[in-house]
Structure 1
């Protein structure tokens, strides 16, 4: 049960760090979350002497890491973001980075909308609604692409996966002790 609580604590702490570092480089919550996920997997592996369970714990860790790192900025935008209808007036492309210059009702926006990837689906002349952070901490985003609910689902799925793995590890240890197989719990 303590391993389950540790997993839930890691999820909570990783999300709290992501919230506290909104506006900082993404490397901070990623490195912190990754370190916490490795700690959980190591505890599962060492406590239950099963490397395969530790390796298996890394699958939900990916959901926890991605969910917590991406949930915080999107939740901040949903909470305090200001909706503005804008028109794309220009685009600057550098590799996979697209910087869209936007014009709102009051004139051009100071901040470009940045998209990294190939299939962005935007063209000069398109009209869309964006969310801007009045504090300027979180970069503006297309309102249709902000959805913290999906990130929360990933976070909860990762926590549920860790719970299942911790309960499986505990049951496995219980069965092995009952059968008198104490010498090696590796397999």
Structure 2
């Protein structure tokens, strides 16, 4: 009496295909994250002179899309929640890089004195007196603790084309915003690698559990 044997299950082939798929999806997610950063930064430059809401909306949409893709690849959502930290670096860097770079490139530095302040909610508008007279544009700070006082001397950068708001020269740091983008991209890449590995392990366990025991 002969015993009929079943052909061996190509476990290694399936596993190799799954690993290649996970690697490809991880690489695609990293590329997508870099594309989000590039597009958000480009929109920031194109939107110089427009309300900040334009690059903010584009950046938020890209960050949300990356978080969703990360959760799908990971087959879980806690990594997506943790990816908010590098996403904030990406968003702030992409939105603020362009106007600060413009001010650094063509901004005119001027010594001014704060003469008065008008507060509306959390918006503080500080009147400025320069060497040649009072400036038409105030220094605007949005927040609860502006850190400026009447009588204070400081240096501001003024865009001669009027497309970028007057800004405290100490706050203009495009190199710092570039570092934020690099850190954000690095964080996203690390999360994508972790998501790809954990997603691959999860899918492999799911296949193993669904295989028949014989």
Query: What TM bracket, shorter-length normalisation?
Result: 0.7 to 0.9
Aligned length: 183
Change (3 A) 1:176 1:97: closer
Gaps of 5+ in 1: none
SS at match of 1:128: strand
Of 17-26 and 144-153, more deviation after overlay is shown by 144-153
1:182 aligns with 2:170: no
Deviations 1:76-113 (A, max 9, x none): 21121110111222222223322122121222211111
SS at match of 1:114: strand
What is the aligned partner in structure 1 of residue 73 from structure 2?
47
Deviation (angstroms), 1:51: 2.4
Deviations 1:10-52 (A, max 9, x none): 1111111111112211111111111111111122222342223
Q: Root-mean-square deviation (CA), in Å? A: 2.1
Of 141-150 and 8-17, more deviation after overlay is shown by 141-150
What is the aligned partner in structure 1 of residue 133 from structure 2?
107
What is the aligned partner in structure 2 of residue 141 from structure 1?
167
Residue in structure 1 matching 2:114, options 82, 88, 112:
88
What is the aligned partner in structure 1 of residue 144 from structure 2?
118
SS at match of 2:207: coil
TM-score (norm 2): 0.77
Residue in structure 1 matching 2:124, options 98, 101, 126:
98
- What is the rounded CA distance, in whole Å, between the counterparts of 2:198 and 2:38 in structure 1? 27
Question: Which structure has the larger Rg over C-alpha atoms?
Answer: 2
Change (3 A) 1:85 1:10: same
- What is the rounded CA distance, in whole Å, between the counterparts of 2:103 and 2:207 in structure 1? 52
Change (3 A) 1:56 1:92: closer
Change (3 A) 1:182 1:75: farther
